[in-house]
Amino acid sequence: MHQHRFFFAIMEKTEDRIQSECVDWFRQVHTDKVLFAVPNEGLRTNGAVMVAKGLTAGVADMIFMMPKKGYLIGIETKTPKGRQSDDQKAWEKKCIGNGGQYYIIRSLEEFQNLIEKLLL
């Protein structure tokens, strides 16, 4: 039994798991702020309709907004070894080019530090 617990304790986190931890923490701590996920991946049975409705390749996993400060921030979740796709790099460039900010986070701790820094 101990080996089973040890395996899960050292198991590498997936991007989905990191993002879920970040959203869970944010919702508990910053109930008055705006953060939402962009479900922009996975299998789609009607891709043409989704594109017509605004689906955009490469959009960041999460968007953090603070309208009073003029913040629109794309936050991409990656594992420690994860890399951006070409579409994600293009969206990052577009986001920054239009006055937004863009960050890549690789852990809950990086996300927490980023959000706390932005809220100063």
**Domain CATH code at residue 74:** 3.40.1350.10
Strands across the sheet with 34-37, in order? 34-37, 62-66, 71-77, 101-105
- Any domain includes 3: no
For the chain, percent of residues with pLDDT exceeding 90:
62
Evaluate if residue 6 carries a pLDDT over 50: no
Residues 6 or more apart in contact with residue 61 via CB below 8 angstroms: 15, 19, 37, 38, 40, 75, 76, 77
Quote the CA–CA distance of 79 and 35 in Å, as a whole number. 20
**Residue range of the domain that includes 57:** 13-118
At 23 the three-state DSSP class reads helix
Answer yes or no: are the C-beta atoms of 118 and 73 closer than 8 Å: yes
Average pLDDT score over the chain? 85
For range 33-62, the mean pLDDT: 80
Kindly indicate the confidence band of residue 79, based on its pLDDT and cuts at 50, 70 and 90: very high
Answer yes or no: are the C-beta atoms of 85 and 58 closer than 8 Å: yes
Of 89, 59, 57, the residue nearest 75 (C-alpha): 59
- Any domain includes 2: no
* pTM > 0.85: no
Evaluate if residue 102 carries a pLDDT over 80: yes
Rounded to the nearest 10 degrees, the angle between the axes of helix 15-29 and helix 108-118 is 40
- Any domain includes 48: yes
- Any domain includes 35: yes
